[in-house]
């Protein structure tokens, strides 16, 4: 009897595994792991929001620090180097200044400028130190540099070598400044909506969860209906159907969030804000995902990191949040919500 039941269950188990494999293949993720990780992340964010704005601020700084570390490792695979410790310090200081200062624009401008300056100096020093170290090792081992080019008479061409060294220096400075803009600057706009208006907690929820809704909806609609590729070269799994689904579900989610936040008598003047906000986040979230995919494709990597099971790295989850943050903050601020 037990054997018969086991025999009957095996085809069902095989079919379930095949169905799950098909879903994982279409989405490009391990869905059970992704769902579990997402539930834990949502719970963590909600707990921090319940504890207050300060706890939410600490969470943002922590996750952005992890994101900076991931970018450092990712760029290193391409031979690029960013000064991680100065970036950690400057990024945390910039986000804290944005949160606790009353004049946000001034402090953001000053902090970002100082961050640019410090990171540029540190990246330049780091590049020169690395070059000197390589030269010292080569001299000690009595090995000529492999990048030195010899002419027909046997003399080396130091000018070409110098250009290659300068190219490395500029590349390191460039990716360091890109990191400041991509993480530090954009993350400040996740913090900004929690500092104005009568509903800072609702603003924080919109900044974090609306892009997440768009991301999940785009994935689901793309796996279900996706036939027309949005950008095959950058992200083969992105589709126009996924983008449309992302916009629709973001609009629905925005109306739900507004219904739970604002009084019914205010709906006559703010309904269009919910419509605009949802549509914009659906587009910017997808664009943020494509931007991260472009970076990964250029670096030749699949995921930004491996910290989140089923999702890849922290940046794989917050790319749409980062890109949507300035637009959410701007709409909420301009409309006075």
pLDDT computed for residue 3 by the predictor: 53
Q: Which residue's structure tokens are 């990171």?
A: 119
| Alpha-carbon Rg for the chain in angstroms | 24
Domain range summary for the chain, segments of one domain joined by +: 32-142+159-334
Confidence at residue 175, expressed as pLDDT on a 0 to 100 scale: 87
Q: Which long-range contacts (CB under 8 A, 24 or more apart) does 168-171 make?
A: 168/79, 168/127, 168/131, 169/123, 169/124, 169/127, 169/128, 169/131, 171/80
Query: What was the pLDDT predicted at 165?
Result: 43
Least Cα distance to 270 among 252, 286, 258 occurs for 258
The pLDDT assigned to 7 comes to 53
Query: What is the C-alpha separation between 38 and 263, in angstroms, rounded?
Result: 30
Predicted confidence at residue 102, as pLDDT, reads 79
Q: In tens digits, what is the pLDDT along the chain, a chain of 337 residues? A: 555 555 555 555 555 555 545 555 555 556 667 677 778 888 999 999 999 889 999 999 999 999 898 888 888 888 888 888 888 998 899 898 888 887 877 878 888 888 888 888 887 776 554 554 345 434 534 443 444 444 444 444 444 443 444 446 778 888 888 888 899 999 999 999 998 888 999 999 999 999 999 888 888 887 777 677 877 777 777 888 888 899 999 999 999 999 999 988 888 888 999 999 999 999 999 998 888 888 888 888 877 777 666 556 788 888 899 999 999 999 999 998 8
Q: Residues 132, 134, 139, 143: what is their CA dihedral angle, to the nearest 10 degrees?
A: -150
End-to-end C-alpha distance for the chain, whole angstroms:
66
- What pLDDT is attached to residue 227? 78
194-230: b or e for each residue (b if 16 or more CB lie within 10 Å)?
A: bbeeebbebbbbbbbbbbbbbbbbbbbbbbeebeebb
């Amino acid at each position: 009897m037990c054997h018969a039941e086991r025999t009957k269950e095996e085809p069902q188990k095989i079919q379930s595994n095949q169905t799950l494999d098909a879903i994982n293949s279409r989405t490009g993720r391990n869905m059970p792991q992704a769902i579990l990780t997402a539930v834990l992340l949502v719970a963590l964010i909600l707990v921090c929001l319940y504890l207050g704005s300060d706890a939410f601020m600490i969470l943002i700084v922590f996750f952005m620090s992890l994101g900076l570390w991931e970018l450092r490792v990712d760029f290193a695979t391409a031979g690029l180097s960013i000064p991680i410790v100065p970036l950690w310090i400057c990024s945390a200081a910039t986000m804290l200044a944005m949160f606790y200062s009353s004049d946000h624009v001034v402090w953001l401008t000053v902090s970002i400028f100082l961050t640019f300056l410090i990171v540029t100096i540190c990246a330049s020093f780091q590049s020169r130190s690395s070059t000197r170290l390589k030269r010292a090792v080569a001299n000690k081992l009595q090995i000529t540099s492999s990048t030195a080019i010899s002419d027909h008479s046997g003399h080396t061409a130091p000018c070409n070598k110098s250009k290659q060294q300068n190219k490395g220096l500029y590349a390191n400075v460039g990716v360091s400044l890109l990191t400041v803009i991509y993480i530090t600057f954009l993350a400040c706009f996740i913090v900004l909506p929690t500092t104005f208006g009568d509903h800072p907690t609702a603003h924080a929820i919109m900044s974090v969860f609306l892009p997440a809704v768009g991301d999940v909806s785009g994935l689901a609609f793309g796996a279900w209906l996706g036939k027309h590729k949005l950008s095959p070269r950058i992200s083969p799994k992105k589709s126009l159907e996924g983008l449309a689904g992302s916009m629709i579900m973001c609009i629905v989610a925005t109306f739900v969030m507004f219904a739970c936040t604002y009084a019914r008598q205010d709906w006559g003047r703010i309904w269009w804000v919910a419509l605009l906000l949802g549509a914009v986040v659906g587009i910017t979230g997808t664009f943020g995902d494509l931007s991260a995919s472009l970076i990964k494709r250029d670096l030749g990597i699949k995921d930004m990191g491996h910290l989140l099971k089923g999702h890849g790295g922290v940046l794989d989850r917050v790319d749409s949040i980062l890109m949507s943050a300035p637009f959410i903050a701007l709409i909420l601020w301009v409309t006075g919500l």
